[in-house]
Amino acid sequence: MTQAEVAVPAPAPTRVRSAGSPSTVVALVTARKAVRSGAIWGYIFGVLVTSSAITYPRIYKTQAARDALAATYGANKATSALFGPAPQLQTVAGFTAFKISMTLILLGAVWGLLTSTRLLRGEEDNGRFELLLTGQTTRARAAAQALMGLGAGVVTLWALTSVFAVGVGLDSSVKITAGRALFFALAMAATPVMFLAVGALTSQLAPTRRQAAAYAAAFLGVNYAVRMIADAGVGLHGLIWASPLGWVEELRPLVAPRPLALLPIAAFTAAVAAVAVRLAAARDVGVGIAPDRARARPRLRLLSGTVGLAIRLVRPTVIAWWVAIAITGLIFGLIAKSAGATLSGSSGQVLAKLGAVGAGPDAVLGVCFLVLAVLLGFVAAGQVTAARSEEAEGRLDHLVVGPVSRYRWLGGRLAVAAVALLAGGVLAGVFAWLGAASQHSGVGFGTLVDAGVNLVPPAVTIGGIGVLAFGTWPRRTSVVAYVVLGWSLLVVIVGGFGGSGTAINWLLDTSVFHQTASAPAVSPHWVANGVMVAVGVACAAIGGTAFNRRDLQSE
Amino acid sequence: MQNVAIRAEGLTKRYGGVAALDHLDLEVAPGEVIGYLGPNGAGKTTTIRLLLGLISPSGGRAEIFGVDCQRRPAQTHRRLAFVGGEANLWPSLTGAETLHLLGRVHGSVDAAYRDELVARFDLDPAKKVRAYSRGNRQKVILIAALMTRADLLVLDEPTSGLDPLMEEAFRLSIREARDRGQTVFLSSHILSEVEALCDRVGILRAGKLTEIGTLAQLRHLSALTVQATFDGAVPDLSGVPGVSSVAADGRVIRCHVRGPVGPLLRVLADSGVTELLSREPSLEELFLAQYGNGLGQGSQQDQGGQQDQGGQQDQGGQHDAG
């Protein structure tokens, strides 16, 4: 017998530390990312609830002040259309529910659709999902598991919101029962749940992540518009049941809880999720149900340089924003007259805290235009983020060795962004005027176009700060731009419904939206606007110079 | 025309404490095809990104056709075309649109040659980039670079994802470029490709250029592979001057010999050798020899050695990609 024939003992099977059973790995991988994001947003929700609840008794100290507040917003159709109805403003609970519910509902919906499309369609686009699918699973099971993972994210969000809500309810000046606080947290988690499911469905339909998010965002936009009409006091309140956002509103947490409204929410979520899983099983990996034209005739008109390329790349997104801004402006114009009619002398003063001066449709539009300013802020932050992703994903390399100087490339992108912002502002004004004029509101065309242009400077500041981050801290470009936007909005909402004082004023000054005059309620402050544009341009110039000097950084 | 296409003097790039590229001195003549070899993280991509002005050096300088890469990047770019190993393109554009765009951006395009390349690489230009396979996206950026007829082609692992037929089309295109007098800087992992195309080869190790020369020069510096078959017992070669990496397999012995072969031949002649083969090392063997493996010692060991090298350079590698 030679040595080679000696029996060698079989090697012991190698033990690999398991990342979960093979059948749950998709759920775990998705859950890990969803929980991280849910924790961040649960914290933000909790802080918003807490700050709102504890500021009320400190600002509205007397019963008279609380009655005046209730008299103003309790029957105000403009704020009702924007933020939902406002019953029981004389109480902390009623005020908190009114002040932050709609903000949380919208934030929750955006979180849900972005998280879901990112973790489903996005993971599929970049090929990581395929690796998981080659494990011991099927497409349907993997989709169901991914949905469970997303569920873990929303449970985290709900749990953190609950902790804050129950905690602040214990405060002697707030006094909200634990049961109501928990139900409120549940209501605030309802939109995220529904839009996680909607995002899961559009992830099956759309050919790319971006389109999946766009489909879901369009669904959200339609929903908000339907809800807005239902709450605008034009005799169509029944429409509230046609909108998932309306169901959440009908839960009436903190004020008069109606758990029955959870039924349509649960049914909708389950149905949409089930359809998403069925579609995931039926379709091929990497392609959506909606046809994606893989071949196309060349359209070369714009592709003669970097500016044309920038236009071609951002056009679909920018047009979608323009449509959203135009429709929102139109709706504001339509409701301005009837909403303005409910304002009377003393309530007008309270509305003035939100920036509106005087009474009538001008005052209402002055408040409403804040929403349009926020939409334009999103356009600005989105444009800077898009520029960074060209660098992060390595496409910029092909242009700068093209040869295109970095200044020229960035300048072209910023010029396109500036046009997108300016046109967005003008559209806001023009469509608000169309709405207002159709109701014979008597607000002039020039006034509203001015008010529309007045929305542009804060967006320029947000974009400029974003470019500064792009030049100096490129991997955080998007975060910085959206944080400036989110912070500005938060401060102006808290400050607007809140009182005054040095601390509040100092905080308010950090908001770009606070620096903008509430046109058309008051005339635009063109000097302040000039300063904001100058700050934006200066930040962009510093950011551009830093970008020109630094190393290109891909992800 | 300047007499140097690429010149690097003490070119250095550090990330934190790690030197991704360490005092690179390099000259490439116009019309030359130079191969640039090294394992992952050795500094190949860092060198290219420095030459392209995409990143700034921590020390030293580089020129392309006499123009400083850092001070006047756009001017140097006018005379070069670049192909990266990752074909990140705009997913919503078609192949034809991408070629049109990159051609317009570069400014000079040989349209007839472009069409010839599209046919040669068998590319369907009507498809959107999103729908292309990895290899097809690579074809797009290859065609985009070649169609410019730029004086200098900077290629960073240009054939990753291409099938063998397309690899052949690529080699043909590079030979055409050389025949036209274009300079080619080819960073590659595919040693047979470098062996087939390049006049000179540089080998990079841990950020340092350890060898540079023609293949003949590199071979001269390296060991000869000898295989001998015996009619009886194999002799002990361990003490013979110049001999290393001895491996016996029955009556066959393989070894490497560096320097004079006389001592080895005398031992072999006295031991009843029946067959004797000797050959120059392939580029692959030269390359592996650079990384601390004896020539031709079982592939397992070779791979192990390469992995070790990669491991040491992980940090540099990450920055490399960034």
Which domains can be identified in chain B, with CATH numbers? 6-218 (3.40.50.300), 223-312 (3.30.70)
A313, A420 Cβ separation under 8 angstroms? no
- Whether A498 shows a pLDDT value over 70: the answer reads no
Mean pLDDT of A116-139: 85
Strand partners, B67: B64
Of B73, B76, B104, Cβ closest to residue A305: B104
Q: Determine, for residues A403 and B56 on separate chains, whether the beta-carbon distance falls below 8 Å.
A: no
- Whether B2 shows a pLDDT value over 70: the answer reads no
Length of chain B as a residue count: 322
| Angstroms from A394 CA to nearest CA on chain B | 6
Confidence bin at A354 (pLDDT 50/70/90)? low
Confidence bin at A420 (pLDDT 50/70/90)? very high
Q: Determine, for residues B56 and A551 on separate chains, whether the beta-carbon distance falls below 8 Å.
A: yes
Q: How far apart are CA A383 and CA A314, in angstroms?
A: 8
pTM of the model: 0.78
Mean pLDDT of B144-160: 95
pLDDT score recorded for residue A12:
60
User: Which amino acid does the sequence have at B282?
Assistant: S
User: Which amino acid does the sequence have at A304?
Assistant: S
Exposed (0-12), middle (13-18) or buried (19+): which is B119, by Cβ within 10 Å?
A: exposed
Q: Which residues of B touch A401 (CB under 8 A)?
A: 52, 54, 77, 80-82, 154
| Angstroms from B282 CA to nearest CA on chain A | 33
pLDDT score recorded for residue A48:
80
Q: List, for residues A355-386, the tens digit of each pLDDT value.
A: 555 567 887 788 788 889 989 999 999 999 99
| Angstroms from A405 CA to nearest CA on chain B | 6
Q: How far is CA B251 from the centre of its chain?
A: 38
- Whether B68 shows a pLDDT value over 90: the answer reads yes
Mean pLDDT of B279-288: 77
pLDDT score recorded for residue A294:
78
Residue A1 sits at the chain B interface (C-beta within 8 Å): no
pLDDT score recorded for residue B304:
32
Of A208, A298, A402, Cβ closest to residue B102: A402
| Angstroms from A402 CA to nearest CA on chain B | 5
Q: Determine, for residues B128 and A552 on separate chains, whether the beta-carbon distance falls below 8 Å.
A: no
Mean pLDDT of B154-176: 94
Residue B82: name the closest of A545, A394, A389 by CA.
A394
Q: Determine, for residues B74 and A395 on separate chains, whether the beta-carbon distance falls below 8 Å.
A: no
Q: Which residues of B touch A208 (CB under 8 A)?
A: 91, 130
Residue B142 sits at the chain A interface (C-beta within 8 Å): no
Q: Which residues of B touch A551 (CB under 8 A)?
A: 49, 54-56, 322
Q: List, for residues A333-349, the tens digit of each pLDDT value.
A: 877 776 666 554 444 45
Q: Which residues of A touch B322 (CB under 8 A)?
A: 551, 553-554
Cis peptide before B281 (omega within 30 of 0): no
pLDDT score recorded for residue A8:
56
For chain A, give every domain's residue range.
22-289, 301-555
> Closest residue of B to A292, CA-based?
B131
pLDDT score recorded for residue A16:
55
Residue A208 sits at the chain B interface (C-beta within 8 Å): yes
Measured torsion, CA atoms of residues A177, A183, A188, A191, in degrees rounded to the nearest 10: -170
Residue B322 sits at the chain A interface (C-beta within 8 Å): yes
Q: Determine, for residues A303 and B127 on separate chains, whether the beta-carbon distance falls below 8 Å.
A: no
pLDDT score recorded for residue A84:
83
Token digits of residue A97: 């529910």
Best interface-test mutation with B: which of A297, A301, A391, A401 has the largest number of B CBs within 10 A? A401
In sequence order, which ranges of A23-91 are alpha helices (DSSP H)?
A: 25-59, 63-73, 77-83
Q: What is the CA radius of gyration of chain B?
A: 23
Q: List, for residues B87-125, the tens digit of each pLDDT value.
A: 889 988 999 999 999 999 998 899 999 999 999 999 999
ipTM above 0.90, yes or no: no
Q: Determine, for residues B74 and A300 on separate chains, whether the beta-carbon distance falls below 8 Å.
A: no
- Whether B286 shows a pLDDT value over 60: the answer reads yes
Mean pLDDT of A452-475: 97
Q: Determine, for residues B77 and A403 on separate chains, whether the beta-carbon distance falls below 8 Å.
A: yes
Q: Determine, for residues B74 and A403 on separate chains, whether the beta-carbon distance falls below 8 Å.
A: yes
Which position has the higher pLDDT, A351 or B191? B191
pLDDT score recorded for residue A168:
87
